[in-house]
Amino acid sequence: MENKRSSIEKMSDGIGLFFQGIVELFSDVVSVVSKVFKQIDWELLAKSSTDPEIQKYYAIYHRTKNSRIKKKQMKKIKSILYGG
């Protein structure tokens, strides 16, 4: 004979899944917002920098449409800015 679950157990499982989904959604939103702030942060630092090397790399980054070159320039700028 099968064990039948009570409606309270089913409801508590449903509520648990609901809150688990809310937590996952919230963590995804926080992750996206964090990435956006990091992106804005390095661009503002690069724009306002007086370092001629950063200015050179940022000018190339800003002019090009090729994503491969943009990534290389961004990596160079970030390594200078953050010392990485």
Q: What digits encode the pLDDT tens for the residues 43-65? A: 888 888 888 999 999 999 989 99
Count the Cβ atoms, other than its own, within 10 Å of residue 25: 10
* Burial per residue of 53-73, b for 16 or more beta-carbon CB atoms within 10 angstroms, e otherwise: ebeebbeebeeeeeeeeeeeb
Q: Is 54 helix (H, G, I), strand (E, B) or coil?
A: helix
Q: Does pTM surpass 0.75?
A: no
Polymer length in residues for the chain = 84
- Residue-level pLDDT at 18: 85
pLDDT of residue 44: 85
**Per the structure block, which two tokens stand in for 55?**
């200015």
* pLDDT > 70 in the chain, percent: 94
Question: What pLDDT score was predicted for residue 10?
Answer: 79
